[in-house]
Structure 1
């Protein structure tokens, strides 16, 4: 049997929001309040790279070019940072579009959501941008991930649906069974399905590439799950922003939840780290490292 150990690592700057493992074996994270990108090698001191104040960096991901790519929600830009800290920024064609989620696609480009413009965007590593309108207004597309079928899958937070977009821009919308569930995070699971979190309904959802949906309620339906990612143990790990917890769910739907050490720490993004542990960004000012350990 195992238990979960959680260690918090304070980082300078305001508001750690999303985190990912970079190609250099370091953790890279966004600081949404201070307008910075952070870098942490587990065991070392964190470092930061300044952006324009007030730009609101949110989600960060690995690009196919060996750099990190991120969204600037407040500045309506897509950013790129090399492992040496060189930053390039690309303004979007649609004003005030509110880019949020971003992920590498199967076509060698980055795909992103435009929450305020009801569009999915595509940017090449050279900075060429294409936008694809969604079939419904007010959808608030949020997180996005590559599926196993050569398409991108994304959450439609206010349309209460999961969307699929082909690389040619063709969109399919899958409505969710539970009304007003407000899906946010989404990721590809080890079982070949897409797994998402419903922040308003308090459940974890699973959708197959054919559109079959299952929902798994959390023990605390008011926990407000926010982000989800695969772990090294074959489970999906998620954050509960309102419940101050992290949790895991197996492909069979078995859920475990674990309280974070500091009350009100506001966990958002979560990712598998270079050390094999799970790391989550706590908006109150730290990264938390989550590991399983044997019980005595």
Structure 2
């Protein structure tokens, strides 16, 4: 078995694993499809195994191929860390910080990214809205550097975290609705409204459902969406409402002619935090994000925004 595997070939393999299509993988790597195909075959020849199941199109990876993909993810991650470490030694960081955030935490993410970019002006940031489960998978596969997610029983194993705030809930509804005159809104009363909520793949939705179930309520949402922006879009010029996290308020506020009132609490408020892989040596980019998270009192900023409404 040859030992001179080219890192570029591993890059091509990871692009194929991400796209699951030779043409799209080639476009992602800015090469022709024949160039990518030849590189994958060269990798197979060097390793003495079949990596890709081929038919008329890409059909998946062999068992050995899946193992190679897993190793390639680790090897390429270590290469990127080496380059980032060398940049840091020269007093700058030019890497792209890849942050996955649950939809309800996306509006709060600018507090983190703004400080990260202030400290690392040559760097950049890429944010993806992901479910808590997808964040766990992508962290394990080295596809993101950190996740902004729930710190509960669904938190990814093999990680370390920094708690940033606790998720509090408010009912956002038309300002002239009778419930907006109440100091707090019960889940029973909220269930009677035409609610816009996230989909059941999102942890936030499962928390809301559990709070409803705790009061014996079965409700049927009027609108389900996979992003906070979509929920807000369906509030405008309608009589609908949503149960929002207070973390949305600093950036998104409350729509015109709407108001927000606290929901009655059910047990401890869910903790949200920054999660990174717990490995040595630590990721340079992840360590930079953790340093930012540890220096920000995000909970206080969110609470202040909620009190100002």
TM range (shorter): under 0.3
Q: With the length of structure 2 as denominator, give the TM-score of the two structures.
A: 0.23
Q: With the length of structure 1 as denominator, give the TM-score of the two structures.
A: 0.24
Q: Which has the higher contact order (CA 8 A, sep 6+)?
A: 2
Looking at secondary structure, tell me which structure has more helix per residue: 2
Looking at secondary structure, tell me which structure has more strand per residue: 1
Higher-Rg member (1/2): 2
